Amino acid sequence: LLLTAVLPLAAVIIVLLITWGISINSSAAQERERNTLAPPTSVPKCSLSRVCPPSHIALRIRSGAADIVGPTVCFDGKIIMSHALNNVGPGLNIAVINGEYNTQTSHKHGALSFFYFFFIYTLTKDPKDILAHLKKIKRGMIVLVASFDDVTQKMTNEMREIFSEMGSTLISSVKRRDSWVFAGRAGTKIKSLFEKQAVNDEKNNIYGGWPEMVEVGGCFPRIY
């Protein structure tokens, strides 16, 4: 009688162990599937507070501070212009980005291969040379601009018009020693949301003869 009672109990234990094992294996498989399907954790680029969607690019532009600290430009998570890189100077600091749209990728938004080239308009440059460089920028190229010291000594009305065609709405009011940062697209005349100006005002300046540093940052559209 005792043996008869033990056998069913052993059978129950075996069934429970098998069921528990199946449950663990099923849970582990589901966890592996979730980890496989879940996108990798992304970190915001250029010190933004959020991750940009695939259709946009992270950027941040800081102007120079007085005539001492140079500007900094971050694009797509990379510092591309700064004092540390030794590629900034007094006047206009401009980075031009030529993005090539790759339609062969499987990603629904495609991909951009970026090629950077920079030119720095120092206070000693001939305005004709500056204008010639600005006119070479092809329509649709991304243009990032940061002031350092004073950008107006070599600024002409024709230069201001070119920046206006890139989407600037403040360039017409930029005056001596104003701080100014801007991001736009050449030749599109689309109003830029990435522009800021600090006016040189002796009563309110925080750096003596210069106003405060200004910066813009956010997610810039990959295509227009």
Are 98 and 115 in contact, with CB atoms under 8 Å apart? yes
Residue 1 predicted with pLDDT over 50: no
Residue type, 35: N
Rounded Cα gap, residues 95 and 186, in angstroms: 12
Q: What is the pLDDT of residues 139-149, one digit of tens each?
A: 989 999 999 99
Q: How far apart are CA 138 and CA 129, in angstroms?
A: 17
User: How many CB atoms are located within 10 Å of the residue 187 CB?
Assistant: 16
188-224 per-position pLDDT tens digit? 999 999 999 999 998 889 888 999 999 999 999 988 7
Task: State the Cα angle at 136 between 178 and 165, rounded to 5°.
Answer: 50
Residue-wise pLDDT for 122-131, tens only, equals: 777 888 998 9
Whole-angstrom distance, CA of residue 208 vs CA of residue 8: 92
CA pair distance 73, 65, nearest whole angstrom: 14
Q: What is the pLDDT of residues 14-48, one digit of tens each?
A: 544 455 454 445 544 455 545 444 445 589 999 99
Tell me the CB-side half-sphere exposure of residue 104, using CA atoms within 13 A.
2
- 77-114: pLDDT as tens digits: 999 999 999 999 999 999 999 865 444 443 444 455 56
Confidence of residue 12 (pLDDT cuts 50, 70, 90): very low
Mean pLDDT along residues 47-63: 95
Average pLDDT (48-64) is 95
Residue 2: the pLDDT is: 40
Instruction: State yes or no: pLDDT of 138 exceeds 70.
Output: yes
Question: ∠58-64-174 over CA atoms, to 5°?
Answer: 95
Confidence of residue 63 (pLDDT cuts 50, 70, 90): very high
pLDDT at 109: 43
Cβ neighbour number for residue 142 with a 10 Å cutoff? 25
pLDDT of residue 31: 52
